[in-house]
Amino acid sequence: MKKILRISIIAVLVILAVLTFVSRTMYNRRLPRVSTVAVLTGFVPLFEDVESGMHVDEVLVTEGDEVQEGQALLTFDTWGHDFNVRTMELQILRLEYNLESGDALAAGELALAQDRLQLLRDNAPPTVLTAPKAGHIAGILAGPGQPAWVRIEERGEIQANLVPREAVFYTGNGNYAVYAISTRRGLFGPEDYVIAIRVYILRDNGVLASIHASEDGEEENRLEGLVLAHNIEGWVQNGDTVWVRER
């Protein structure tokens, strides 16, 4: 009898363990998944990309060069436009000669050609690409006969809190927040959950953001070292339990 009772108790415990494991697995699968990133101290490199679909004639800078605002970076090949303008100028000279020779129809053609020439001149393409701001050339993809792409980078101000830009979420009405990871006792033991912390973006280049957690900056260093939710899969809001991926 005791043996049967002992076997029954063991069987119940095994079943409870299996049910607990299955329940926890199903519970976890329903949770939003997040990876984590630590708030660091650093600076945001600000950059601006300059592009043009026109073909390059000559590249005037190389990667690593320091440039000033308005400095010429490269020149464009405007041969096609210049050829069209010269062709129209020659056509106007021919029509003027025909008009002087008594060709009555040349007057209308001459007026039309002059309008076309003016339109070409008014829509002349740029001959040079200039730097929109001071900085250094962080990247360049350009060569004779190719379209142009130039990245100009400016070193940002030193800030206390640096995070990936995608870890900062827009919450509406011009407000932003980050989700910090915290732990509490849950149904199946310790659970990770998120706490929404309102932040202000100081500098942003689309990849990294420098932030602080108060408008007056008094709590600026409070974020340093926090672990934030990053690469969130699913809908997350303040207080939600989440499944943290392996760090």
CA atoms within 13 A on the CB side of 166: 9
Give 104-159 pLDDT, tens digit per residue: 777 888 888 888 989 988 988 889 999 998 889 988 988 888 888 999 988 766 66
| Window from 78-82, 106-110, 119-123, 243-247 with minimum mean pLDDT | 243-247
Is position 201 within any domain? yes
On whether both 163 and 211 belong to a single domain, the answer is yes
The mean per-residue pLDDT over the stretch 180-203 comes to: 84
Whether residues 84 and 206 share a domain: the answer is: no
pLDDT on residue 128: 92
Half-sphere exposure of 111 (CA within 13 A, CB side): 4
Residues 163 and 101 in one domain: no
pTM of the complete model: 0.56
- Assess if residue 163 is contained within a domain: yes
Query: Which range of residues forms the domain containing residue 104?
Result: 79-124
Domain-located, residue 58: no
Task: Kindly state whether residue 142 falls inside one of the protein's structural domains.
Answer: no
Q: How many domains does the chain contain in total? A: 2
pLDDT recorded at residue 131: 92
Q: Is the pLDDT of residue 28 over 70?
A: no
Which of 50, 123, 140 has its CA nearest to residue 80?
A: 123
Q: In what order do the strands lie in the sheet with 128-130?
A: 56-59, 72-76, 128-130
> Does residue 117 lie in a domain region?
yes
